[in-house]
Structure 1
Amino acid sequence: MRNQATTGYADTEPDYGSGDGAKRLWLIDGAYLFSTQSSVGQGYNFDYLLLKNKLETTVGPFWRSYYLNALQPDNDRNDGMQRFHSWLQSAPPSGPKIITKLYNLRDSDASHAYCHGCATTVQLECLSPTCSTGVYPLTRRSQKGVDVGLATLALTHLDSYDTLMLSSGDGDLLDAIKFVSDAGKEIELAVFRAGVATELQSWADRIYWIDEFAHEIAR
């Protein structure tokens, strides 16, 4: 395994130059960027076109960009979300030209949970008055499809890029990141300081903290 470099970190006076000519794949966890942007300040929202332009000014043009997210089948597929996802895919100067892949949130059984106090598995129930007329199944919704999708894209295109730029903080991607790194590719993170697994940080050759230039990409 090659040595992990530490240059390029925004903690040490970042160099936002004209890029190094590497062929880059940018993978975006949409839920991560959406949920962590508020860490910059109350009411803060960033613009994807401005973000992509900023990153490409910093590192050079992306070979390809993907945005992945998981939505509730009914509630999230409204006209506003559809317009946003359509705009993401539109080419400059109108949009950022990011390939968009959407998944349904996955339901898993949540009727039981492990109690660390008594070291037993206990049954859960809903205490809402609206459920007093019967017993209904409890499920937990997760976006595991996004994790698998990000890892699959990173591995499928392994021979097509030199550098993987990841906008996600999910430690579940660690095995895929290790594989990509051991294959001789460089790993970059373009993330907010909030919610980034330290394991991912340790494998990154460079980290571009969005917080450092958040005012430039605000909408």
Structure 2
Amino acid sequence: MVTRPTIGVLAVQGDVREHLGVLAGLGVDARTVRRPAELDDCDGLVVPGGESTTMAKLARTFDLLEPLRQRVKEGLPVFGTCAGMIMLADRVEDGVPGQETIGGLDITVRRNAFGRQVDSFEGDLELVGLTGPVHAVFIRAPWVESVGEDVEVLARVPHGPAVGRIVAVRQGPLMATSFHPEVGGDPRVHRLFVDLVEGHGSLDHRG
């Protein structure tokens, strides 16, 4: 009998329902995470887009921030999108004073790097591990200013004023995108993360 991975979506703020829908469509056990006990049952976690400072404050309020940090240190596969990328970053440029993150990704991100809500845009880009372009939607998105030596760059902006900017990365069991793969009907980026969860051995604790 094949064990389906359980993948949680951090549900304190942001695009929770959209991620749950994509994950369920891929055949995983997708569920919301608002409390530490719910995190304990997860083989992987998605940190959605939203507002990174609000998300961090609510995670602190729900007593989730330290458990999240601990699970990341223990090797929990986590996929952050847009604000979720900021939440996974070790360093943040243009953050608010005292802004907290989960950390774990050896990257520096620039918050709201592509501009305000009115500057949101979309376009196709190539992403390592996928055949054919991904249609990427950027909404008040960050970009990655710099990466550590163990971080793999998965995608860059292919053209325009931000050409060459890093918008997708992976480091071990952690993965992050500046854009929103949960919109647009293409589940391939989530499939990459599900494959990462299934290949990481994180199902072992469930017997």
Short-chain TM bin: 0.3 to 0.5
Q: Which has the higher contact order (CA 8 A, sep 6+)?
A: 1
Q: TM-score, normalised by structure 2?
A: 0.32
When Rg is computed on C-alpha atoms for both structures, the one with the higher figure is: 1
Name the structure with the higher strand share: 2
Q: TM-score, normalised by structure 1?
A: 0.31
